[in-house]
Amino acid sequence: MAQVNGNYLKLKAGYLFPEIGRRVKAFSEANPEAPIIRLGIGDVTEPLPEACRTAMKGAIDEMGTREGFHGYGPEQGYLWLREKIAASDFQARGCQVSAEEIFVSDGSKCDSSNILDILGEGNRIAVTDPVYPVYVDSNVMAGRTGDADAVGRYGGLTYLPITAANGFTAEIPTGKVDLIYLCFPNNPTGAVATKAQLQAWVDYARANDALILFDAAYEAFIQDPELPHSIYEIEGARECAIEFRSFSKNAGFTGTRCALTVVPRGLMGTAANGERVELWALWNRRQCTKFNGVSYIVQRGAEAVYSVEGQAQVQALVAFYMQNAAIIRRELTAAGIQVYGGEQAPYVWLKTPENIDSWGFFDHLLGKAHVVGTPGSGFGAAGEGYFRLSAFNSRENVEEAMGRIRAL
């Protein structure tokens, strides 16, 4: 009989968002007339930008001709898209990132998990707490952790609490770690990091020969021009950081699937024998072996994001969701609830009232207001007593949901 990967058996429960789905499904079946509004999973609701749709329709027509047909594309992504990304997202902000260093993929969630393929098992890993669950669960699945304790923290991981007391910005570890997961703007808290704060992380990584895995999936939602959008805006980051980005939230590609990872040339890791090895070459080899690339049609849609029309339409989408976030912040504050985030990110992180635990507040909102959010404890032990609401929904639904919550 085939043996299973026993590391999966270490996982405490179902992945957070399917568990939310299970609970909502059970409630809906028991209360079929309840008008549920979902502000939980960070899935967008507004249509794809017109520029992207037009480009994708054109690409489909191309695919209907012998001359324009495209089969397997380059595993790294088409050069014309990578050049647009490099110029618009990085070089325009003073980052020294070339098209060669960009790998187009089907999602930053996938890439932040798959990156473990090229990293050794002996790394000391640091994650924030609360944290996007994929960072932890993918390490558990890959056998990089011990078992979970009573509050869900896994042996072998260094947890860096992010709380109201430290402004939800992780503090530099006092000991040495090798692999650091950072996400700014932060999911789930909505916190951001200044250039000085990121410089401290880069300095730590360089001093300790550590690697930063920097998730910038929400960078488009930053409103303050003084805040960095990329880790590569920080001096020395090319020597110690890999960055993940996505078209999912800014351009509505959650169902279309297109993202990218930046692996700088010359970024090095260490083999078991002490030899220095370039990570770019390993990631390129991994992608060529395990990935067949993103479809031509989708990449043409992503390219259209960088057109004049596409930029205006994407900025309008971002502004729409950030207006939703402002409404959520305003209404929750008026209801006497302590809120964080929602000013530079599409998530509002709130303190559950009256010392209700996170899942208790989830059930309370679902049962009484028919509103779905995300329990903070699902993001880690330090998330207990907090709750995340997403700004990804229609204006009508956001306003209705806030009215229901204020009426509780």
Q: For the chain of 408 residues, list the mean pLDDT of each consecutive stretch of 10.
A: 95 76 93 94 93 98 98 98 98 98 97 98 96 95 94 94 90 94 97 97 98 98 98 98 98 97 98 97 98 98 98 98 98 97 97 94 96 94 95 97 96
Count helices and strands (H / E) in the chain. Answer: 11, 15
* Segment 145-171, tens digit of pLDDT: 999 998 889 999 999 999 898 989 888
Q: For the chain, how far is it from start to end, CA to CA, in angstroms?
A: 54
Strand partners, 387: 350, 375
- The burial of 155, by beta-carbon neighbours within 10 Å (0-12 exposed, 13-18 middle, 19 or more buried), is given as exposed
Amino acid identity, position 349: W
Question: What is the arrangement of strands in the sheet containing 157-161, beginning at the earlier edge strand?
Answer: 102-105, 259-262, 241-246, 211-215, 179-183, 125-129, 157-161
Q: Looking at residue 355, what is its pLDDT? A: 87
pLDDT for res 13? 61
CA angle centred on 117, ends 114 and 121, rounded to 5°: 125
| Residue 92, SS3 per DSSP | helix
Q: What is the pLDDT of residues 180-229, one digit of tens each?
A: 999 999 999 999 999 999 999 999 999 999 999 999 999 999 999 999 99
Quick one: CA torsion of 85, 200, 132, 224, rounded to 10 degrees? -60
CA distance 234 to 104: 23
CA–CA separation, 146 vs 159, rounded Å? 14
Tell me what pLDDT residue 14 has: 62
The answer to whether the beta carbons of residues 242 and 214 sit under 8 Å apart is yes
How many CB atoms are closer than 10 A to CB 334?
A: 10
Instruction: List the beta bridge partners of residue 260.
Output: 104, 245
CA atoms within a 13 Å half-sphere pointing along the CA-CB vector of 346: 26
pTM for this prediction: 0.96
